[in-house]
């Protein structure tokens, strides 16, 4: 157990460092969004491009892994929509809640954790999971929110807005460009490769510190029952990895290391994407921010227990 804790301790130590810096006033109120923008628009895209530029077609072609992780996200997302709609929750808010339950923090925590536990060979699969999360799942939530908020239902207009949003998403554009570069067979100049290595190397630590800064921010309270957040945390930390485990080992029979990687990625806490979406559409965001905080803290224990009882599987 101690060795397992020591493996993931640096991940949460960086989150705590960001949290402490904000609480102590070392970093100001704008540090969280600005550092987050640096990660999303520069560091993480550089890491994704570098990974895909050096990934072979054989490494990228993993249909079973795509099916396991993608179906796991969609099942939990659909289940949460149904549960929240039964409680007369507005479809826009129910969609954001569902994103809270299925949106694993693959970008900020997934990369550094997978690198430490499963090794460098796992990064191509983590990239696939990140694309499925920040693009496919995010697009689904946007479609539902737009459908709920627009009085005039225009499917073509919705598709155009979603498509334009995805084409401007650096977390989608970067790995696509990296894949195209790898397919071209061109040789990357050493100086440019060093640039991507240096910038991409900043992604993981900066992302974790940014997450700690985000959690430490004070937000306006609202009369929202705690049970809403606890339901979403339970769906995220227990139901999501459980569904993914069944798909990985009972339905698609993934190799043990790849199957455990899919489950660990599904067991990650809620990422900041749902909160950004709630803020963008000016929806109630207290449940979301509370879910991110509680799931992040709770994942320390759930991830540790899963890794301990399954062992550390290196690809």
Domain count, the chain: 1
Name the residue with higher pLDDT: 66 or 229.
Answer: 66
Residue 315 lies in a domain: no
Residue 59 lies in a domain: yes
| pLDDT of residue 145 exceeding 90 | no
Of 136-140, 168-172, 195-199, the range with the highest mean pLDDT is 195-199
Please give the C-alpha separations between residue 224 and each of 72, 82, 230, 288, 311, in angstroms, as whole numbers.
28, 20, 12, 11, 39
Tokens of 260: 């455990």
Looking at the chain, how many residues does it have?
315
Residue 186: how many CB atoms within 10 A of its CB? 10
Q: For residue 152, what pLDDT band results from cuts at 50, 70 and 90?
A: very low
Residue 86 lies in a domain: yes
| Contacts (Cβ under 8 Å, ≥6 apart) of 229 | 287, 290, 291, 294
Residue 66 lies in a domain: yes
Cα 102 to Cα 239: distance, rounded to the nearest angstrom: 10
Point out the least confidently predicted range of 48-57, 136-145, 165-174, 286-295. Answer: 165-174
Name the residue with higher pLDDT: 226 or 278.
Answer: 278
pLDDT tens column, 2-53: 656 666 778 788 889 999 999 999 999 889 888 888 888 898 889 888 888 8
| pLDDT of residue 290 exceeding 70 | yes
Is there a contact between 199 and 42 (Cβ–Cβ < 8 Å)? yes
CATH of the domain at 44: 1.20.1530.20
Residue 194 lies in a domain: yes
Residue 36 lies in a domain: yes
Tokens of 215: 């959690």
Cα 179 to Cα 278: distance, rounded to the nearest angstrom: 32
Q: For residue 139, what pLDDT band results from cuts at 50, 70 and 90?
A: confident
Whose CA is closest to 114, among 137, 99, 130? 130
| Predicted local distance difference test score (pLDDT) of residue 71 | 97
Residue 104 dihedral angles phi and psi, to the nearest 5°: -75, 145
Name the residue with higher pLDDT: 113 or 276.
Answer: 113
Average pLDDT over residues 251-255: 95
Average pLDDT over residues 221-241: 82
Tokens of 86: 């039964």
Name the residue with higher pLDDT: 38 or 153.
Answer: 38
Cα 117 to Cα 114: distance, rounded to the nearest angstrom: 5
| pLDDT of residue 224 exceeding 50 | yes
| Predicted local distance difference test score (pLDDT) of residue 36 | 80
pLDDT mean across residues, the chain: 85
Residue 213 dihedral angles phi and psi, to the nearest 5°: -65, -40
Cα 123 to Cα 127: distance, rounded to the nearest angstrom: 6
Residue 122 lies in a domain: yes
| pLDDT of residue 167 exceeding 60 | yes
Cβ neighbourhood burial of 222 (10 Å; 0-12, 13-18, 19+): exposed
Residue 138 lies in a domain: yes
pLDDT tens column, 99-134: 999 999 887 788 888 888 898 888 889 989 988 888
Name the residue with higher pLDDT: 294 or 251.
Answer: 251
Cα 207 to Cα 32: distance, rounded to the nearest angstrom: 10
Range(s) of the domain holding residue 14: 2-310
């Amino acid at each position: 157990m101690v060795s397992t804790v020591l493996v993931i301790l640096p991940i949460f130590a960086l989150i705590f460092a960001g949290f402490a810096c904000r609480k102590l006033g070392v970093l100001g109120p704008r540090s969280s969004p600005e550092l987050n923008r640096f990660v999303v628009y520069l560091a993480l895209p550089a890491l994704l491009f570098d990974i895909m530029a050096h990934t072979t077609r054989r490494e990228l072609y993993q249909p079973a892994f795509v099916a396991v992780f993608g179906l796991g996200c969609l099942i939990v997302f659909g289940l949460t929509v149904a549960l929240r709609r039964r409680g007369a929750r507005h479809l826009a808010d129910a969609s954001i809640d569902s994103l809270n339950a299925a949106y694993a923090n693959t970008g900020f925590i997934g990369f550094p954790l997978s690198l430490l536990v499963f090794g460098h060979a796992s990064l191509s699969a983590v990239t696939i999971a990140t694309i499925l999360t920040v693009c496919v799942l995010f697009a689904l939530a946007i479609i539902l929110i737009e459908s709920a908020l627009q009085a005039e239902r225009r499917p073509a207009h919705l598709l155009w807005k979603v498509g334009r949003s995805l084409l401007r998403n650096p977390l989608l554009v970067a790995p696509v460009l990296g894949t195209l570069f790898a397919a071209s067979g061109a040789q990357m100049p050493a100086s440019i490769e060093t640039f991507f290595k240096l910038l991409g190397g900043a992604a993981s630590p900066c992302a974790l510190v940014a997450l700690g800064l985000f959690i430490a921010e004070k937000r306006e309270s609202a009369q929202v029952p705690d049970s809403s957040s606890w339901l979403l945390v339970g769906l995220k930390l227990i139901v999501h990895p459980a569904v993914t485990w069944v798909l990985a080992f009972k339905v698609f029979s993934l190799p043990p290391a790849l199957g455990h990687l899919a489950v660990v990625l599904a067991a990650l806490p809620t990422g900041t994407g749902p909160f950004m979406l709630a803020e963008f559409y000016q929806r109630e965001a207290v449940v979301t921010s509370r879910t991110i905080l509680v799931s992040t803290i709770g994942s320390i224990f759930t991830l540790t227990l899963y890794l301990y009882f399954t062992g550390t599987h290196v690809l």
